Amino acid sequence: MAYRPMLEIVALEKRFGSNTVLKNIDLKVAGGELVFVIGPSGSGKSTMLRCCNRLEEPTSGDIILDGRNIMSGTSRDLNRMRLQVGMVFQGFHLYPHMSVLKNVTLAQRKALKRSKPDADARAMDMLERVGLAHKANAYPAELSGGQQQRVAIARALALDPKVMLFDEPTSALDPELVGSVLKVMKDLKSKGMTMLVVSHEMAFARETADRVVFMDGGVVVEEGKPEEIFGAPKAERTRTFLSRVSS
Amino acid sequence: MDRFLDTFFNPVVMAKYAPDVIGGMGVTLTIAAAVIFAGIGLGLALACLRAYGLTILNFFIICYADIFRSLPPLVLILILYFGFPSIGIRLSGPMVLFVVLSLTLAAFAEEIFWAGFSSVEKGQWEAGIATGLGFTRTLAYVALPQAVRLAMPPLVNRVLAITKMTALGSAIGVAEILSTSTTAQSFSGSATPLTLSVIAYLVIFLPMVVFARWLERNSAWKSR
């Protein structure tokens, strides 16, 4: 793979008080690559993801997005960087007081300063892409979990991010709704989006991930192609974890 | 029965003093409107400032809210009206009433809005911040509308409680409803003007109470 990383995590460390949750993490995600992060709960994988747009402030280390370090610069620079990093949460976090369309246009209008027609058009394109254009005027409370998560993906995509971060995007969904969200993610991947995904969907990882990273106790234990990690894990901890989740 | 009617519903007295009490209604309404506007505005501004989480500033906001929620407004009214002229600050009766009630309402409103902000899910803030809105715009567009909505029912109740306190103006001669009624009562020697004040208060506040009830029923998130 030609290495011009789109997202690069360098020597990332995160402490909460005396508790070190991330130790010296290095990770590179190439443009168009889908990197899957797995690991037991408490392994620090979500914290790592949240450090990538500084929702969680790293204790030390660097996060380099397309050649620019998001750890330096003013708060205005940081907001501009955040526009380029789409984030999808486990709990969707759609704005309940706004229609689906407004949810997708808010940051376009207020942060990107797009005109209303431009923002609306872009939002409709993205809603179309996640199969929910017909719900543009609905309110989040009227949608299923799967639909809400797809709107959340559209909300992030509408800002034309360079990288998409997914923090357990399907963990809060009923099993029958998971497929619709994974389908959208697969479609994104096929269109060349760079993605860093924390998830327990092992079958999906096997099928679509370019690389799988196994984290435990705040460190990257092992990384490799899905067939390597799932087929022949080298580390004992990886084997134990995989046998426990029995993918 | 006749005696009761004559005492509380004497038509002659009613006709004679109704204009005064109606004038008092105007004063009550004006001060109440000004108090609601200023009190809610200041309370909301303080709650928004508090959301920034600046330790020293928040200390002062909390002190202010706690002190003004503890003190009976009448005490402050008397201090401002009778005490402050001695230190060279001379405020008119209506102004004293306005200042004290606004500050009291603002203290309660700040706490109510703050409770609203605290009930907005952390994820809402994160969603706003992650989409590059930054803290201030997330506050304005994401958290504030939700906080205001949550705050509405308790806020309307508090607004009612405080605006009724315009009657305290009678202690410092503000010509509001109660004041005009008690004056009329002593001139006429009849309790009928007090009946007029009851009617006047009901005309002003009953619709607000009904509105508060309606708000409480309709405060859940709906489709539109």
**Position B223 pLDDT exceeds 50:** no
Of A107, A138, A142, which has the smallest distance from its Cβ to B131's Cβ? A107
- Biggest alpha carbon–alpha carbon distance for chain A: 55
Instruction: Report strand pairing: A19-30 vs A211-216.
Output: unpaired
Report the alpha-carbon distance of residue B138 to residue B129 in Å, rounded: 7
pLDDT, position A74:
86
pLDDT in tens, A107-157: 999 999 999 999 999 999 999 999 999 999 999 999 999 999 999 999 999
If we measure between CA atoms, which residue out of B187, B116, B111, B101 comes closest to residue B148? B116
Question: How sure is the predictor about B2, in pLDDT bands with cuts at 50, 70 and 90?
Answer: confident
Q: Side chain identity at B39, as an amino acid letter?
A: G
Alpha-carbon gap, residue A121 to A116, rounded angstroms = 8
Nearest to B131 among A97, A142, A155 (CB): A155
- Give me the pLDDT at residue B219, please: 64
CB contact under 8 A, A82 and B221: no
Between CA B44 and CA B38 the distance in angstroms is: 10
The stretches in chain A having pLDDT less than 50 are 1, 247
Q: Beta partners for A167?
A: A198
Mutate to test the interface with A, among B120, B121, B131, B222 (most CBs of A within 10 A): B131
Cβ(A70)–Cβ(A63) under 8 Å?
yes
Per-residue pLDDT band at B82 (split at 50, 70, 90): very high
Task: Look at B130 and A159 and tell me if their CB atoms are within 8 Å.
Answer: no
Task: Give the count of beta carbons closer than 10 Å to the beta carbon of residue A62.
Answer: 14
The mean per-residue pLDDT over the stretch B127-134 comes to 95
Candidates A93, A151, A157: best to mutate against B (most CBs of B within 10 A) is A93
Query: Rounded to 5 degrees, what are φ and ψ at A84?
Result: -90, 0
State how beta strands A60-65 and A5-16 pair.
antiparallel
Q: Is the pLDDT of residue B132 over 90?
A: yes
Cα dihedral across residues A47, A51, A57, A59: positive or negative = positive
Query: Is B205 buried (19+), middle (13-18) or exposed (0-12) by CB count in 10 A?
Result: middle
Quick one: pLDDT at residue B224? 40
Give the pairing type, strands A34-38 and A211-216: parallel
Which residues pair with residue A19 across a beta bridge? A16
Q: Do A111 and B132 touch (CB under 8 A)?
A: yes
Residues linked to residue A166 through DSSP beta bridges, in sequence order? A88, A197
Q: Which residue, among A68, A55, A57, A53, has the nearest Cα to A22 in the 3D structure?
A: A57
At B104-126, the pLDDT tens digits run 999 999 999 999 999 999 999 99
The tokens describing A37, both together, are 């992060």
pLDDT band at B208 (very low <50, low <70, confident <90, very high): confident
Q: Which residue of B has its CA nearest to A155?
A: B131
Neighbour tally for A48: CB within 10 Å:
28
Give the pair of three-digit tokens for residue A84. 């380029």
pTM: 0.89
At B149-206, the pLDDT tens digits run: 999 889 998 999 999 999 999 999 999 999 999 999 999 989 999 999 999 999 999 9
**ipTM reported for the complex surpasses 0.85:** yes
Q: Which residue of A has its CA nearest to B125?
A: A93
Asked if B131 and A82 come within 8 Å (Cβ–Cβ), the reply is: yes
Amino acid at A145: G
For residue A14, CA distances in Å to A48, A164, A196 come to: 8, 21, 19
Contact status, residue B168 vs residue B97, Cβ threshold 8 Å: yes
Residue whose C-alpha is closest to residue A160's, from A136, A190, A188: A188
The number of residues in chain B equals 224
C-alpha A136/C-alpha A205 separation (Å) is: 31
Any idea of the CA torsion for A88, A91, A93, A99, to the nearest 10 degrees?
100
Q: Is the pLDDT of residue B51 over 60?
A: yes
* CA dist., res. B15 & res. B10, Å (int): 9
- Residue A247, classed as helix, strand or coil, is coil
Confidence at residue B218, expressed as pLDDT on a 0 to 100 scale: 75
CA dist., res. A192 & res. B66, Å (int): 56
* pLDDT confidence of residue B213: 84
**Residue B220 pLDDT grade (very low, low, confident, very high; cuts 50, 70, 90):** low
Q: What is the chain B residue with the closest CA to A158?
A: B131
Which domains does chain B carry?
Answer: 19-223 (1.10.3720.10)
